[in-house]
Structure 1
């Protein structure tokens, strides 16, 4: 397939399309809210606003978390604002209301949202009160309770305008950046992605508007270059459309974008084979599948196909302790420094450390899965290229057997079928 055909099919494959199942769930929840708070049991569409990446339609096709604001009447605000714990009481009332419709579904309430957990995804319901300027007042139960303001409508409108003006390229870019960050395994907020893609678009409007699928490799290179030039010290950004503050505690995307630029600098962007190969490494299985990656063994498994969704929201480190007869236990770097690679017949103990997940996962059971991938003629001849994804725990043990400098071990932190963090270590093995 040509570069143009691959990017066209790839962008179509990651496009978010509303499913009837989810639409019906939104309607059922809305209908129950309108029955209780507006005395209108037949209304399943009003007083509901889709927000977040799925509301801006910049999410990818495997999205399984949906955010909606349900507008409540101001008399409800007055009723609960006088309570000592008004925000918490209101959130629990909305939870109980939804529970009447979904009595057998796992529903929880904390912070600003009611989480309606289905077996194939999550709806986060935010009770809100619409202000005169179309923004929303919403509750926060933390730190004794408070009211906050959000203004998602201008963000939705700006995304739609950018996408219309660019004939769909804006959302293509936003979705490709999401696939990239999920494959590379780092945190990059959805609203910040859309904001930076918007800023890039404003600075390169003609190039974006006039780009065809055959020009997407160059356009992605230019976007990576733009991301790589952002200020590492910047901690606050202003959202597209609304100008609301976006807090960003780290800027991993800048280094990752520099790495992507360095990879792309190594190839000829006019060579279609080189272009497809490099974007397979940048985007992973979802792109490789479209590009028909014949180099992948049939038995190899990929996170994108094994798990329900990939939505990187946290980080962890993988520590590798090497146990080799005749040596004290050392980290991998010791053997790479003194021997250029690990020695055969070494015992490798991989362990998950320094987890950093959002508060919503506190006290939740995170499951860890591991993947070992071998390369080279020794592993191939032994029929041990491997590549399966197996359920494990925080520690995983392997033994070095086959010479190659590109073996790797990857770990996935999974909650409710969604990969929320991933990390990967290269395992170079020399000929002892």
Structure 2
């Protein structure tokens, strides 16, 4: 396959495949809080999807979701000096909808822990300047300010200027993170990709066939960043911490990119790119894989194998021989299987 086809396949292999499930969870959480705070049944009003999902940079297997919930201004006197109580109220109301799901308060958020991902709910008060005030229960309680709308707006604007390359690169770097188990947050990945493209216009008129050189250029940029403690986020200028130095793995990855670019056969080229991005990068003779876990490592990462296709398994849950539910729907809603049920695969 061509370079363009290979990188298109990579991006197709890592695209989120459970957007419906994610939207349903966001909607049910929002509705639960709207019923309490506004006496509304809306699944969309008064909430904002943020984080990598909100910036459209998340990939398949995304495990951390973030959302803001906009509290009514009239609730401020009630919670002004009671940050922990606010999180407890939010937790209690969400629990009414997700009775069998682990839900807990955690400093600044309420975490709704599903089997395949966590949703962090941040209750906020809206400010006139577009920022939000959110609770912090540490050290006796306080209020802090965040500006995710400015972050998303800046990221979206540069992505538009760079013809979509920014978001695609951010997704590719998440595959790299999973392949090499790099301790780096999604927010830092997006910040680094943003900085890389800030003053780089040479790819504005380029296509997927240039993504091999783009990858090399990015990891060269990353290696040259050295060791820093934090970066400033686009838009908000908030500090994004560096958990652990990524300099050595960036240098190693740059060498893999150089190996791929200098390869004399398609087989060796693709094997080199698989060292960079892992299993989601296609073998040179195979089609796109429809179910890829980007964090797993397989023998075909190192040796050519013609593996393709996928198997979907569904399970019927029956009571008294009558269909009660499908297992996929039950798990998607965070519910357990009741006793005295029969399973039919």
* TM more than 0.5: yes
Please state if 1:284 is matched with 2:284: no
Aligned equivalents of 2:189, 2:121: Cα separation in 1? 23
Aligned equivalents of 2:229, 2:45: Cα separation in 1? 37
Aligned equivalents of 1:18, 1:32: Cα separation in 2? 22
Conservation of the 8 A alpha-carbon contact between 1:33 and 1:97: yes
Aligned equivalents of 2:16, 2:213: Cα separation in 1? 24
Please state if 1:159 is matched with 2:152: no
- 1:91-137 Cα deviation digits (max 9, x unpaired): 01100011111112221112111111222322111111111111111
Equivalent positions of 1:98-113 (< 5 A) are 98-113=94-109
Conservation of the 8 A alpha-carbon contact between 1:2 and 1:272: no
Please state if 1:47 is matched with 2:43: no
Bigger Rg, which one: 1
Please state if 1:38 is matched with 2:32: no
Scaled by the length of structure 2, the TM-score of the pair is 0.79
Aligned equivalents of 2:295, 2:299: Cα separation in 1? 19
Aligned equivalents of 1:310, 1:67: Cα separation in 2? 21
Conservation of the 8 A alpha-carbon contact between 1:3 and 1:272: no
Tell me the C-alpha RMSD between the 2 structures. 2.6
Match of 1:125 in 2: 121
Q: CA deviation at 1:270?
A: 7.2
Conservation of the 8 A alpha-carbon contact between 2:188 and 2:240: yes
Q: CA deviation at 1:262?
A: 2.3
Unaligned regions of 5+ residues in structure 2, if any?
Answer: 304-345
- 1:77-102 Cα deviation digits (max 9, x unpaired): 321223xxx11111011000111111
Match of 1:262 in 2: 255
Taking a change above 3 Å as real, the CA distance of residues 372 and 168 of structure 1, as seen in their structure-2 partners, is closer
Conservation of the 8 A alpha-carbon contact between 1:87 and 1:145: yes
Match of 1:379 in 2: none
Scaled by the length of structure 1, the TM-score of the pair is 0.64
Aligned equivalents of 1:111, 1:264: Cα separation in 2? 41
Conservation of the 8 A alpha-carbon contact between 1:218 and 1:269: no
Conservation of the 8 A alpha-carbon contact between 1:239 and 1:245: yes
User: Which of 1 and 2 has higher RCO (CA within 8 Å, sep 6+)?
Assistant: 2
Unaligned regions of 5+ residues in structure 1, if any?
Answer: 294-302, 312-369, 377-432
Q: CA deviation at 1:17?
A: 5.7
